[in-house]
Amino acid sequence: MKYIAAREKRNLLTYLGEKEWLIMFLWFGLAFVGAITEISRGNINNFLIFKNVFFHLIHQQPLYIEYPQEYYDVNLYGPVFSVVIAPFAGLETRLGALLWALTGAGVLYYAIRQLPLNRIQQNIILLLCTQELMGASGWFQMNQFVGAFIILTFTSIVKGKDMWAAFFIVLGTLTKIYGIVGLAFFFFSSNPKRLIGGLFLWGGIMLALPMLISSPQYVINCYYEWYAALAHKNTLNEAVTTVFQDISAGGFIKRVFHIPWLSNTYVLIPAIIIFLAQYIMLRYRYNSRYRLYILCSVLMFPVLFSTSSESPTYIIAIPAICIWYVMQPSTRANNIFLFFAILLVSFSHSDVVTPWVRKNLAVPYALKALPCLVLWLMIAYEIFTRKFLVKPPKPEVAAPVLEPAA
């Protein structure tokens, strides 16, 4: 497989991308800062939910009800999540929260390193994602893992490791549903029968794992309750009861055009049609650029078209913006788009913008979704018009092309 060429010109990002120590320091250092800052403030409610999921499961208590004496809000992850969180649940709470956040950063780092891009391009992606990672780390959610699972599903399939791809699809689906989008890479598989077999195998294993520390009937009931909890959550999100929920394409449209009654179905159905139409070009499924375009589209899809999207959910989508960018020639238009995309996605909810902009524009109008929606539509257009086949001109100063990590 041929790997995407280096960027057209040597620019600041290329220069910074050559600094391996800087990438490692920023990636894990900012993840640490984001986590430790919220731990010092006592803002670890999400981790308290996760930690207690394990104990509630082993004591066979309901997983999807409120426990006001332990934490606020409710758990919305699948029963198998109790096994994922188990290594962190027995630790001292603050230490467990910190290690959970750093593990999420590590898994996403590993996933990006598996992309069929050269080392400099991988470093640029990591560099551009650091601000979003810092914010997501302070929420102690599972979004870093979900983004990594989707990327690893893609890289496993293109490397012919279908059993591993099936593992990541099942694990992502049975924890936060979003992982199911990994099925979009099915047609890239060189051995679809093995992939299907792997889905059944891993599905059975992950269904059984929580039963080993509880009981079969209890876990089966939990899945019914999980479905009901997700359906109830979706109803609440569509009501837009808070500006911090439904930061999606639908949420953006409803708030900007003042149509709060708009059902997400009216946004989701056209999105599914547009997404599926990209497979018209499936004859190019062995083209590396086409594959990466589909990866970008898939990474943004569950964030853009889910009513459950929040600010930290965008750690799943931001790598898509960066992957797309490193595939493009370094033109002024592309650089301007990247600047505003990173500004709106990674900084619009931070103190970098003024409080007035944050409180009156960025948050209430879900502007975080705007650049992702624009890019998602651009990618669809470039696939429909076969512009992905147009390769950038040969770079004037080529960055070294290294073999991707195994």
Interval 21-51: pLDDT, tens: 999 999 999 999 999 999 999 999 999 999 9
One-letter-per-residue 3-state SS of 60-114: CCCCCCCCCCCCCCCCCCCCCHHHHHHHHHCCCHHHHHHHHHHHHHHHHHHHHHC
Tokens of 185: 């890479």
Cα gap 375→360, rounded to integer Å: 24
CB atoms inside a 10 Å sphere around CB 217: 10
Cα gap 73→71, rounded to integer Å: 7
Cα 312–262–66 angle (5° rounding)?
A: 50
- Phi and psi (nearest 5°) for 332? -60, -40
Count how many residues are written for the chain: 406
Q: How many CA atoms lie less than 13 Å away from 389 in the CB half-sphere?
A: 10
Where do the structural domains in the chain lie, given as residue ranges? Answer: 239-390
Spatial CB neighbours of 67, under 8 Å, sequence gap ≥ 6: 52, 56
The whole-model pTM stands at 0.92
Tens digits of pLDDT across the chain (406 residues): 444 444 444 578 888 889 999 999 999 999 999 999 999 999 999 999 999 999 999 999 999 999 999 999 999 999 999 999 999 999 999 999 999 999 999 999 999 999 999 999 999 999 999 999 999 999 999 999 999 999 999 999 999 999 999 999 999 999 999 999 999 999 999 999 999 999 999 999 999 999 999 999 999 999 999 999 998 888 877 665 566 788 999 999 999 998 988 888 999 999 999 999 999 999 999 999 999 999 999 999 999 999 889 999 999 999 999 999 999 988 899 999 999 999 999 988 776 767 788 788 888 888 999 999 999 999 999 999 998 887 654 443 334 444 444 3
Interval 64-73: pLDDT, tens: 999 999 999 9
